[in-house]
Amino acid sequence: MANKPVLLTGIQPSGDLHIGNYFGAMKPFVELAQTGGYQTYVMVVDYHALNTVQDSDQMRRRIREIAMAYLAVGLDPNEIILFQQSAVPAHTELAWIFDAITTMPYLMRAHAFKDAEAKNKEISVGTFNYPMLMAADILLYDTTLVPVGKDNKQHIEITRDTAEKFNRIFKEEVFTLPEGHIQSGVEIVPGTDGQKMSKSYGNVIQLFGSHDDLVKAVMSIVTDSSGERPQNVYAIHKLVRSEEELEQMYTEHKGNYKVLKEFLIEDLDRYFAPIRAKHEELKSDDSIVDLVLEAGKREARAVSETKMEQVRRAIGVA
């Protein structure tokens, strides 16, 4: 186990999960973890989310929801290390050290910062420093592989630059350079209006919503009346059913959008039934989540503290 390459991800507890998150991030990650070829770390990055989530009840609830969701979609708690970022002090400590060796102009080139600035937002210092905390998240565990969406590609580059810079300044190979794994096979999951599914567009199909939520969302899918095949319905349908079967179904029921949507509801229900059942089970006994997070905290603290001892020696404070 000790010598397996390290697979790591971080998820912000900043909103309800939708099926775009599932197909775009969770499913591919779980499949990688299930190969058994990695030591896997899954971290709920609550201190990253603090930049946007500033309500204690909401924060508390969402942290648990994310942890529960990752267990529900198939991560084996005995095989992975699942923990809260805030429970492991090394993350913020190392982020500070990275702050000290990184220049303002360098971080000002980050897309996320430039986007926020372009929107004329009052940017928090934490938003500006976001990439440093993320670099710490990754580098503390000698991570080899970080699966991310395209939007996080630059964060991985910053992480690699920071690792290299630290190793160069302090003349010691303290940090391993991680690889980003851009999930290219995964298409962008469209929402009910055909745009990218996103909580900020209000076009989502929730991952753990009720049956009524599902019906409402699917029935609201925007159909283009000019074509015979409702593209937005089909695009979601092909995530849960083979295109061969869909060809037949969409030919047979050509133009009958209501029936096709009903089939989609049925297929989504069937596809997500095991995940939802597992989710219900975890919800009914949430002490399991506590136990998993507690065990994760212990392991992550031990591993990260060993790395921090090396870091403190390398910089000369110990």
Binding site for ligand TRP (CB under 6 A): 8-10, 12, 45, 48, 134, 137-138, 146, 148, 152, 155
188 binds, among ligand TRP, ligand AMP, none (CB under 5 to 8 A by kind): ligand AMP
DSSP 8-state secondary structure symbol assigned to residue 18: B
Contact yes or no for 19/221 (Cβ under 8 A): no
Residue nearest to ligand AMP (CB): 24
Interface mask (CB under 6 A) for ligand AMP, residues 133-172, using x and -? ----------------x-----------------------
198 binds, among ligand TRP, ligand AMP, none (CB under 5 to 8 A by kind): ligand AMP
**Is 196 among the residues that bind ligand AMP (CB under 6 A)?**
yes
Nearest to 59 by CA among 41, 42, 47: 47
Percentages helix, strand, coil for the chain (3-state, rounded to 5) are 60, 10, 30
Helices (H), strands (E): how many in the chain? 14, 5
Which position among 6, 7, 8, 25 is part of the footprint of ligand AMP (CB under 6 A)?
25
CB of 241 to ligand TRP, least distance (A): 29
Among 30, 88, 197, 249, binds ligand AMP (CB under 6 A): 197
Residue choice 10, 13, 24, 296 for contact with ligand AMP (CB under 6 A): 24
Q: Which stretch binds ligand AMP (CB under 6 A): 113-121, 162-170, 194-202, 274-282?
A: 194-202
Six-digit token string for 222: 């925007």
Q: Is 171 exposed, middle or buried (0-12, 13-18, 19+ CB in 10 A)?
A: exposed
Q: What is the DSSP string of 187-215?
A: PPPB-TTSSBP-GGGT---BSS--HHHHH
**Reduced to 3 states, what is the DSSP secondary structure of residue 252?**
helix
Residue bearing tokens 């989530």: 53
Q: Single out the segment in contact with ligand AMP by CB under 6 A; choices: 51-59, 94-102, 195-203, 259-267.
A: 195-203
The residue ranges that bind ligand AMP (CB under 6 A) are 15, 20-21, 23-25, 149, 188-189, 196-198
